[in-house]
Structure 1
Amino acid sequence: MRVLDSREIFKELMIDYVGFPEEGKEPELTNVRFRDLIPEFSRGPRRCSEISDEFLYKHQLDTINALREGKNVILTSGTGSGKTEAWAIYALIERKKVLVMYPTLALSADQIDRLVSYYSALRLKDRVVQVDRPTVKELGDFKIRRAVKRALLVITNPAFLLMDLKRYVSKRTGRFHSELPYLEGFLEDVDLIVIDELDFYGSKRANLILVMIELLVKYILRKTPQIVVLTATLANPEDLAKYLTSITGRETCLIKGEAFKVSNRNYIVLGKNLEDLRKYIVENYLEFVDDDYVKAIIEDPKRFPYYVHEVIEYLRSRGIYGLPHPYLDIGELLSRYVNDEGVTLVFTPSIRTAEKIARRIKDRLSPELRDLVRTHHHLIPKGIRRAIEEETRNGKVKVLVTVRTLLQGIDLGNVVRVVHYGIPLDVREFHQREGRKGRRRTIPFTESIFIPIFESDRRLLSLGEEGLKEFANIPLEYVIINPDNKYVKMFKALFKVVYGASLSDNEIKLLKDLNLVTEYKTLTGVSIKLSDEGVRVWNNLNFYEFGPPYGYTKLIRDEEGERPIDEISTRDVIYCFQPGCFDLSSDAVITEVFRRRVYIEELSTALEKYSFLDEALGYYETVKYRWGERPDVKSDLIKGNLMSRVNVLVEPPRNGFGKIIERPMNVMWVLESSRPRFKKLLDTIVVIHDRESITLNARTRGYYEDFTYGYVYETSFGEDPDILRAGLAFIKLVLRLSPRYRLSLRELNYAVACAMPKQPLIYLWEGECCGITELIDWGDVRKEVMRFKPTPLSSILLWFIDEDVARYISELGIGWEQLRSYALRVLDYIEGVTYLRIKDLGVIKVPKPSRDLKIVSAFVFDVKLGSDKVIYLIAKYDGEDTKSQVFEVTAGSIPYELVRSVNDLVSACVEHGYTLVTLGNELIKYCENSKVCSILMNTLENERKLYDVMRLGKEVLGVDLITFNDIASLIDYELTVEPMEVVKLASNSRTLSSKYLYEKLISLLRTYGEERSKLIYIFYLALRSLSKTT
């Protein structure tokens, strides 16, 4: 077939680009054709006849042979490598009853069509049944159950299967009111279970699927099935093989394959007439450029194309307008591809963008050619989507514009070109997009066209050919298979309780620790049953999220009334759909969240209607005028200069597995200036814009809960939270790029809680709960951090991981080695290095505290309360009594009463000959504005009556980092108030408005401060005792 060469189009349209080729791949073929195994394929429907004369790939035939030998199979192979046919041929030949799971049936329509076609060739079309919630709703319970009972192939998704599993056990025991299971009469006699694209689900849900299969095998199926797992990549396939063998008793065979791929040409589109533009700027405006970075970019023909947009914005900020237009007309370019023999697939970041681009292409075409351009996304009805897919395969559609709906397993035939309008940050999504093209041997070559539209795209593409190659070749993230993790153990144990099966001692202990069961007496002894909390958890355990399966309804509110437009998950409501958040899919803003309903209204109407939005708009306009820019909310939203962000308070488990709660605290509008600043980020140049946050005065609603692994690490008093965040970001980068770990960026999350600025807490928790934190050897991670060799791409990925950290290190000019030292500092806290060093000292005996020792300890700290309040506390202990004082002030000021209290304390120590013991230099800071206090402090220091226990601890113990918990363990002192309790209450947005919560916080702070002032006192005695013996 003939494929258009985009280089000719670029030349004609005067488009600047960078191009580089990729070689094709040819999987190993066998001498067996599909018609040799199933002769009916030659006379079957089109999808059968297309492959009947094709030779099987080696991995397909190996899979069939392994299944014929009664084995399980784990088939690891790329997109488009015929994994579906590998098991389907075996199932058809042997007439096996098959249960196959796809992520969603709507997005797996092509694979389902192929399967229906294969079964139709053997006159078994009516024995193929799809079962999911939309299908049940469409056909009704009776028709579905009748079809399922006589099916040979049932196609479902894991979310539906999980609910049906719960229906099975509830029906058996009669303990819970529930619908009857839909798969009853089929599941019991299943011969083969197929899990398609296991890596699609992420580690948490992949493990949940495996445990669901284990429960099916042990408690529902009458015979042991074979299991086939299809995947693109797995971290530990050997462990998965052992697990499958353990639950089925069958040998598990590991098979690897490659996908067929023709040679490919990559093109990075940079703009139009860029060299002419650069020369024009050099000749006319270079003298007005006073930024060395900008000047160097303008003078460099190779670098200029990658930064042209930022250079133009920079010149505009200098009052230079009317420059030639460098931007690409996307409609003009893509309209040329309707003349191609193959299909061009265009991926866009949103449905709105997809529809807009399709309109722009059609505007360039004559009416008779416009039907050659179509869009494809989930808002288009399923029947129409399937018709579009079929028209694309038949050559009636030449340009198909889509979002993510074509990522999952759809074969559109002669796709010769993929256009990335915006670069996906997820490597897996990038490979899924690329896998849509070049699936036919008649295609001579394929093309990948990259069109940067966001600043993040331009950052990546600024690395040029080598950077894009490095990005494309980043190994896919591992899916961590760990069926021993406590999340799936909890699910399994709850199932057993409801089912009435016996539990192991460890399972009972886990459920008791989580308060999910209670004991009751029977005639034969003591038994357990679900507690009220256990019943709630069992009912709320669903596949994709914890909570009711129906989520929230999104409604649009206008002059015509209210009407539902979509369903939203509970977690998305917490993070994206709070009052004041922008809904970019509909040019609207969320105005209310109430009773599992989310209301949105047209933006301009809502800004005038609601006071909290009008107030934020006023502040937005003030900031824009201060920057010398014209306020235009809609324009800033389109350009990405204005976005909404929900500040979420995460309360992870403190030390291991437990409940995690995520609460929305407030909504902020994040506004960026249009004017760029060029900064060095490690070993690359990035563009930074001034940024300001606007906190909205709107009440947030709801919370999300689930179970995961989490850890809270206390840090040394006075630790810099920015250093901790930077270190955590570096560790996350290393875990992603390390060949040993290849950890998804969603796998491990972190936060640094700063409600107590002088004592930040490190929060670490699993976003994809799979027990990875139990498997990670942090000592080994330390070695990975030490040997990590960054590349320019590493800098860009760091920006994706944590933009705030990237801004911080670029503003301060921090280099890789300094960043590495921050990561090692964080690992010291995670590994408890200080505790490990001092525990060998044993428990230190210290003199009994007494006023006669003439020692006073003082502890001063502050706590942020909301966005504009700060509470200061000073606690003192003299060996017998503790006293504390609390002061509340507006953020940014220091209470006069606190300064006076410090003055009085220092004066009393000098007058009565007391030794003053502190933690850090906080007291000295409050003496700086008092000349008398400063003189008295110097007097105490000169008389060796002023001690900082942190400095003294480092001298005596030889440790750099020391926490209150380390100190308490050393001297056998019990702390009753943990810092996380203070942070949790201080961070609660309702504490300021609730008298009860506020008084509770003050009481907690007094106890917290008084305990630590006493701890400082005793620690000083211990250090003094140790220094005399060493």
Structure 2
Amino acid sequence: MSRVLTEITGLETRIVKGKPFRVANNCYVVLGKNLRRVWDLLRSHADRFKGFGRDVQASLDDYEYFRKNVYKVLEAARAAGVPAPSLMVDPAEIIAHYVRDEGVTIVFTRSIRSAEEVYRKLRLIRPEAEELAATHHHLVDRERRSMIEKAAREGRMKVLVSPRTLSQGIDIGTVVRIVHIGLPEDVREYRQREGRKGRRKDIDYTETVIIPVSRWDRELLTRGVDLLRKWVSLPLEKTIVNPDNKYSTLFEGLFKLSHPKLKGLLTREEFSLLSELGLAGREGLTVKGKRAFTKMNFYEYALPYGIKRVKSEDGGRYLQDIGYCDLVERFQPGMIDYTADAIVTDLIRKGRVVTGVWEQPLRYETLNSIDFLAQALEEYYRVKDKWGEQANLFRDYYQGRLHSEGICIVDPPRGGFGLKTKRPNRVNWRLISEKLKPVVSDGKTYFLKVQRVIPVVGPTGGVYRDYTYGLTVEVDPSEDIEWLRVGLAYIIIVLRFKHGIPLDTFAYSVGSVGNLKLVSIHEEESAGLLEKIDWVELKRDVEGFKPDDMAEIMLQAVDEEAHLTLLTKGLRWDLAAAHASRIIDYILQTMKVKVKVKGREIVIPKISRALRLAAISVVSVPLSENYVIGGIEIYDGEEHVYSEASREYYLQEGWEEASVALHKLINQDFKLIVYDKASTRESLDKLGLKTLSLTVRAVEPIEIKQLASEKLGVEKPTYQAIAQALGLRQEVDLQALQIEFEKSKAILEQKGVEKWRTYTKYLRQKLQAYQKQQAENLMKAFLILSRLKP
């Protein structure tokens, strides 16, 4: 930071060091009420805990060990069907004791709604809290917030309840206690909260009170209190400051070109970036560039006014505006608005543009009055009945067992800095059972959430764009999608433990279009880290990392699906590390192959039928178990033959023309070229074309993957890596194909898979364009590689 400030200002920067004064701090974790009575009760049912790990058995023998693992043992009791009283403590009952304290107590909650709820209960328990306590968040008027802060500094206000605003550097004065109603998800935020107290030398001692209420707290505590202590002691996540971040270059370039007097200050680097992104030309900013500058705002890349949020009460009451990114991710029809105890029921549109969202109170009458919500509610009842649990949607909502999630289609930059586009695809309700499923591994007991995804088939709308860094790599068709996801999550936790990179810095996805598979990573907010990562060093970090219980809980925080795969497969950290290492190999592969080919001049013959070569591209795209579509592309050096094939149950259609053309070429002694023999045959098999599959096997085609491996010295080179290295153009890439596939799949979920002919039109068009270019590139790749020396 010192170096960056000096570079910007031209002034000398000095670092002031020193040890801050600290007063004694006592930390209390509120585990619950009547622990000894609960322990005695569970011990009387000890015979019903025999299927659990040694950690649960030890907790029944030793009360102190039980205290450290109380949440784990209670989950084991629920799983075993042992009745156990609730340990639940109302946080307001504890906080009420601090209303008349000498110092100030700051209570941090996970949301505005919970802050207001605590304050409301506090006033019921201690009426004087009306004057001695207050909530503090961005929905409270700014003048009112200033009055509250002043009253706290003067000792007239004793308890402040806040979701986050008071953690952001505001000096309240004699704060002696921090109460965490639910822990934040990163250590830096926890330490930031803790830093609000003990900031005066005349304070004798301070206190930290942790009241577990959220799913994250319970996940930590089911591993034991010691793991909570270990989490609190982790090194802080780093604040990323990268002076080479191209987002800064983008802003400075746009700013200079938007002001006539500053145009002369535009650097070559700035103009080059703007031109590359289509934002500037010889005449200055393009229309796209002017629009981009308008969207350069503090909180998000969007217009300077937000999306309107209207609640149906009182004839339509305007709530706080939301951002464009929030619209796409959190405010689609069917999603719950946690700050207003409401549910989004419709989008407000002006033409093709979404300008607002319409919300209604979260009530049964609301859910039953709207078709797509009524269907989701009925499915909720069915799932609860299957689990043998009492259906009470609002209890599940308030206890955190029912929440909504928006599934988006993200189109990130392919390789470097560029535009990211995020569109809503569908909405799900995620319902979590009251009981967890125990899994014993190496004597330890872990608990998996039993959950069900309930699709909410309603309308979606809106789009969010921003500039960031991303990379996409194709992976071998034989790779396992589930383990690739575990591998990506493993990379994220290695970056956190080894380099202090926050868990939410990167987003990733694993996609497939039939037998074609890819991995995509991008920065949620542009930081420029992807360009700075030394992948060779990171691979060493991955291979040398020794995961522990903290790594396991971190993995769950990063990706619940990956965590579920890891636990159900026997906690195989070795496989997780191996797949993380393979992903890095695929990333490195594109760089290595480019270097291998760079600078070589290779002369190839003119491509024609005279070469007696024919390249084949076969792709199958399963829409469901019984519906598969795909394409067979054959290129003989001059002509293209494309068959749009499909299989519905046992009926195959559209393959005949390609079959005739293929057999004709074989009879004329043409040599066939494929990227990968196994995946070609697999695709033909999935389309139900066994005869063609056997034909391809019999003629022993040239395999580009094997040839490239021999010539370039790279294990399992992907088609993408080969094409990039040889300078072969692929206008419709795999990422574009996968995005179109996700769109089609979402529509078919609503309309029915049997209507695929109507709703996969654009997918089939892109598939044909992809395969046509792939066949041409396979032909060129063979001619180039066959002339290269290993």
**TM, length-normalised to structure 1:** 0.68
What's the counterpart of residue 352 of structure 2?
none
User: For 1:490-513, what per-residue CA distance to the aligned partner results, in whole angstroms no more than 9, with x for missing partners?
Assistant: 222222223223123333222222
Does residue 555 in structure 1 map to residue 310 in structure 2? yes
CA distance in 2, matches of 1:597, 1:640: 27
What's the counterpart of residue 230 of structure 2?
470
State the 1:984 CA deviation: 3.1
What's the counterpart of residue 1012 of structure 1?
774
2:33 is matched with which residue: 263, 272, 294? Answer: 272
What's the counterpart of residue 106 of structure 1?
none
Does residue 244 in structure 1 map to residue 6 in structure 2? no
What's the counterpart of residue 529 of structure 1?
284
CA distance in 2, matches of 1:594, 1:682: 54
What's the counterpart of residue 101 of structure 2?
340
What's the counterpart of residue 597 of structure 1?
356
Contact map agreement 1:681 1:806 (CA 8 A) in 2: no
Does residue 261 in structure 1 map to residue 22 in structure 2? yes
Aligned counterparts, 1:664-675, within 5 A: 664-675=424-435
CA distance in 2, matches of 1:878, 1:334: 79
CA distance in 2, matches of 1:742, 1:812: 28
What's the counterpart of residue 566 of structure 1?
320
1:579 is matched with which residue: 310, 317, 333? Answer: 333
The 3 A distance-change label for structure 1 pair 619 and 713 is same
Q: Secondary structure at the match of 1:272?
A: coil
Q: One-letter code of the match for 2:93?
A: E
Does residue 792 in structure 1 map to residue 553 in structure 2? no
CA distance in 1, matches of 2:361, 2:411: 34
Aligned counterparts, 1:508-657, within 5 A: 508-519=271-282, 528-558=283-313, 560-595=314-349, 596-604=355-363, 605-657=365-417
CA distance in 2, matches of 1:683, 1:252: 54
1:883 is matched with which residue: 620, 638, 641? Answer: 641
What's the counterpart of residue 984 of structure 1?
739
Q: One-letter code of the match for 1:797?
A: M
2:518 is matched with which residue: 761, 768, 782? Answer: 761
The root-mean-square deviation of aligned C-alpha atoms, in Å, is 3.8
State the 1:1020 CA deviation: 6.0
What's the counterpart of residue 508 of structure 2?
750
The 3 A distance-change label for structure 1 pair 759 and 325 is same
State the 1:878 CA deviation: 5.3
Contact map agreement 1:682 1:810 (CA 8 A) in 2: no
CA distance in 2, matches of 1:312, 1:690: 16
Q: Secondary structure at the match of 1:256?
A: coil
CA distance in 2, matches of 1:997, 1:539: 36
Q: Secondary structure at the match of 2:326?
A: helix
Q: One-letter code of the match for 1:511?
A: L
Contact map agreement 1:843 1:972 (CA 8 A) in 2: no
CA distance in 2, matches of 1:906, 1:293: 63
The 3 A distance-change label for structure 1 pair 618 and 916 is farther
User: For 1:236-288, what per-residue CA distance to the aligned partner results, in whole angstroms no more than 9, with x for missing partners?
Assistant: 4323323221xxxx322222344432111122222223343233223236337
Contact map agreement 1:580 1:590 (CA 8 A) in 2: yes
User: For 1:899-939, what per-residue CA distance to the aligned partner results, in whole angstroms no more than 9, with x for missing partners?
Assistant: 999998998899998766552424544777999958x9779
Contact map agreement 1:758 1:861 (CA 8 A) in 2: yes
Q: Secondary structure at the match of 2:85?
A: coil
What's the counterpart of residue 126 of structure 1?
none
State the 1:623 CA deviation: 2.3
State the 1:590 CA deviation: 0.5
What's the counterpart of residue 201 of structure 1?
none
Q: Secondary structure at the match of 2:16?
A: strand
State the 1:795 CA deviation: 2.0
CA distance in 2, matches of 1:793, 1:442: 37
User: For 1:808-842, what per-residue CA distance to the aligned partner results, in whole angstroms no more than 9, with x for missing partners?
Assistant: 21222243332222222111222225515753795
Q: One-letter code of the match for 2:505?
A: E
State the 1:483 CA deviation: 3.5
Contact map agreement 2:106 2:179 (CA 8 A) in 1: yes
**TM, length-normalised to structure 2:** 0.86
State the 1:338 CA deviation: 3.6
CA distance in 1, matches of 2:336, 2:688: 52
Contact map agreement 1:282 1:298 (CA 8 A) in 2: no
Q: Secondary structure at the match of 1:420?
A: strand
State the 1:644 CA deviation: 1.0
CA distance in 1, matches of 2:69, 2:660: 60
User: For 1:638-681, what per-residue CA distance to the aligned partner results, in whole angstroms no more than 9, with x for missing partners?
Assistant: 22222111111122222322222111111111222222112368
User: For 1:596-620, what per-residue CA distance to the aligned partner results, in whole angstroms no more than 9, with x for missing partners?
Assistant: 2121101223212211111222222
Name which one, 1 or 2, has greater alpha-carbon Rg. Answer: 1
What's the counterpart of residue 717 of structure 2?
962
State the 1:851 CA deviation: 6.7
CA distance in 2, matches of 1:678, 1:547: 46
CA distance in 2, matches of 1:583, 1:868: 38
Aligned counterparts, 1:639-718, within 5 A: 639-679=399-439, 685-718=445-478
2:631 is matched with which residue: 852, 869, 873? Answer: 873
CA distance in 2, matches of 1:312, 1:682: 20
Q: One-letter code of the match for 1:874?
A: I
Identity of aligned residues (%): 33
Tell me the matched-pair count: 771
Contact map agreement 1:644 1:667 (CA 8 A) in 2: yes
User: For 1:937-972, what per-residue CA distance to the aligned partner results, in whole angstroms no more than 9, with x for missing partners?
Assistant: 77986x773665545655665532311133335666
2:114 is matched with which residue: 353, 358, 362? Answer: 353
Does residue 770 in structure 1 map to residue 527 in structure 2? yes
User: For 1:353-375, what per-residue CA distance to the aligned partner results, in whole angstroms no more than 9, with x for missing partners?
Assistant: 2233334444444x457644443
Contact map agreement 1:588 1:602 (CA 8 A) in 2: yes
What's the counterpart of residue 324 of structure 1?
85
The 3 A distance-change label for structure 1 pair 296 and 409 is same
Contact map agreement 1:718 1:759 (CA 8 A) in 2: no
CA distance in 1, matches of 2:288, 2:690: 57
The 3 A distance-change label for structure 1 pair 237 and 679 is farther
Aligned counterparts, 1:176-575, within 5 A: 236-245=1-10, 250-284=11-45, 286-287=47-48, 290-292=51-53, 296=57, 299=60, 301=62, 304-305=66-67, 308-309=70-71, 311-312=73-74, 315-316=77-78, 319-321=81-83, 323-365=84-126, 367=127, 371-464=131-224, 466-500=226-260, 501=262, 502=264, 503-519=266-282, 528-558=283-313, 560-575=314-329
